[in-house]
Structure 1
C-alpha cells in the first residue's frame, strides 16, 4: 500500500518538478551532441535537468546510459519532438524553457494519464506532475494465440488499478514486470523491450527502472486515464 514515507517522497519530487528550471550547460554542449555512452559534465547537466523535470529518477552519474536515453525520449516526445538518442542543441534549448502545455483540469488530481499519440505516461499526485515515462502501447496489428486472433489495441477510457503483481510473471503473450492491471488482463508493466513505437499486445510497456518507481507511486484504486491525445 502507499505509505506515508512514499507519499512524502512523491510530494517532494512533485514540488521539485513544479519549480521553474534554469538549465546550465557547458559551452561546448551547444556544439557537441551527446550520444549514448557519452561521459562528462555535459551529461551530468543533462541528467540533472531531466531529473528536475520528472523524466529521470536516478542520481546523475555523468554517463549517458539506458535510463538517460529513455528519459531523453520521453522529454522530446513531451515537447512534440521526434524521439532520438542523440541530444543536440534543440533538445538542450527545450530543456531550458518551461512547458507551454495547458494545465490539467482540476478534476484530475491523482493517478496516471496515458497519451497514446505521444506514447507517454504521466503520474500526478495532488494535481502535480510527479513523473513522465516513455511507453510502448498496443501495436494496432493482428495477432493470434491458441487459435484465437485479435487486434493489439490499448483500450481508451477511464479506469482504475484493480490488481498489483510484483516482480516478474510470465503469461501466454510474454513476460511482465511489476504489473499494474487496470482493465481485464491489460496492465502497465515493465519490459526489457520498449521501442519508440507502439509494439505491445495492448498492455502499456515501460522501462524496467520506471516500473520500479511506478510500483511505488500507484496503488489499487488509483485512476488510469487512457487518451488518444492529451
Structure 2
C-alpha cells in the first residue's frame, strides 16, 4: 500500500492527531501513463484520380478524346473540340462498361484505359468535320477578288485585295476524280444547280473549270472527310457558302493550290 502524509489535524480539545493517510491501490497508473487504445485506425480512403478534362473544356486535347471515342464506337459525331453533352455521355458509357466510376469526366484512369484500346489519331481524324486552321494564302491570292483554295489545309478563303473576309473548310475529289489545281475564274453561278452527270444537288454552285465548281454539299456536312467529291470543291457550312455565293461575281479569280 502506498501512504501519503504531511498533514495533521486538530482534535476538538486542541490535541493534535496523527497525520491523515490516504491509501491508493499500488500500481494504479496516472492518466498520463494510460496505455494507448489498441484498436487499429481506419485506412485512409484512396485519393480520386486527377480529372484531366470535363464538360465545357475546349481544345485540341478534347478533339483527341473524341477521335479515340469514335474509334471504339462510343461517339459518332465530331470531333468538335468542345466537351459537350454527347462527349460526356460517351465517357460515362465507356466508364460504366469497364467498371470505372461513371462521372462523365475524363480522369487519368479513364484516359489511360482509352489509350490502351485505341490508336493515335491522324490530323484528319482530329478534324474530320472541319475546324482546322487555314495555312497561309498562296501568293497568287494576294491581289484582286479571289476564291483561294488550299489542298494542304483543306480550306477556302474568300479574299479581296489580300484581305481574308471568310474562311471555310472544304473537301475535294478522290484520287479517281481529282480536283484540278491552278488559276481559274468563275464563269457561271447557279443557285439551285443539280448535277446532270450524278443527279445530285449542287446548291450555290460557282463553276470554275468544266464541271468543277465550289458548292454546298450535304454529304460533306453529314460525313466530313470520310467521303469525297467528284472533283468539286465541297463546302459543309451552308450559311457561309450562301454568303460567299452572294459576294462572288462572274469573272472572279479561283486559285487551287497546295
Computed over aligned residues only, the root mean square deviation of the Cα atoms, in angstroms, reads 3.6
Q: Secondary structure at the match of 1:193?
A: helix
Q: 2:155 maps to what in 1?
A: 120
Q: Secondary structure at the match of 2:189?
A: strand
What displacement does 1:192 show?
0.1
What displacement does 1:119 show?
1.3
Q: 2:126 maps to what in 1?
A: 84
Q: Secondary structure at the match of 1:214?
A: helix
Within the alignment, does 1:136 sit opposite 2:175 as a pair?
A: no
Q: Deviations over 1:126-176 (max 9, x none)?
A: 2100111111111112xxxxxxxxxx0111110000000012424221221
8 Å Cα contact 2:135/2:150 also seen in 1: no
8 Å Cα contact 1:113/1:224 also seen in 2: yes
CA distance in 1, matches of 2:189, 2:83: 36
Q: 2:194 maps to what in 1?
A: 169
Q: Secondary structure at the match of 2:219?
A: coil
Match of 1:155 among 180, 183, 191: 180
Q: Deviations over 1:163-209 (max 9, x none)?
A: 00012424221221110000111100111011225611101111222
Q: Secondary structure at the match of 1:200?
A: coil
Q: Secondary structure at the match of 1:188?
A: strand
Within the alignment, does 1:110 sit opposite 2:110 as a pair?
A: no
Name the count of aligned residue pairs. Answer: 143
What displacement does 1:101 show?
4.5
Q: 2:57 maps to what in 1?
A: 29
Scaled by the length of structure 2, the TM-score of the pair is 0.46
| Structure 2 CA distance for partners of 1:126 and 1:29, relative to 1, 3 Å | same
Q: 1:218 maps to what in 2?
A: 248
Q: Deviations over 1:75-101 (max 9, x none)?
A: xxxxx9656369xxxx9xx99xxx994
8 Å Cα contact 2:140/2:255 also seen in 1: no
Q: Deviations over 1:29-86 (max 9, x none)?
A: 3699424667xxxxxxxxxxxxxxxxxxxxxxxxxxxxxxxxxxxxxxxxx9656369
**Structure with more contact order per residue of length (Cα contacts < 8 Å, sep ≥ 6):** 1
Scaled by the length of structure 1, the TM-score of the pair is 0.52
Q: 1:203 maps to what in 2?
A: 232
| Structure 2 CA distance for partners of 1:133 and 1:166, relative to 1, 3 Å | same
Q: 2:6 maps to what in 1?
A: none
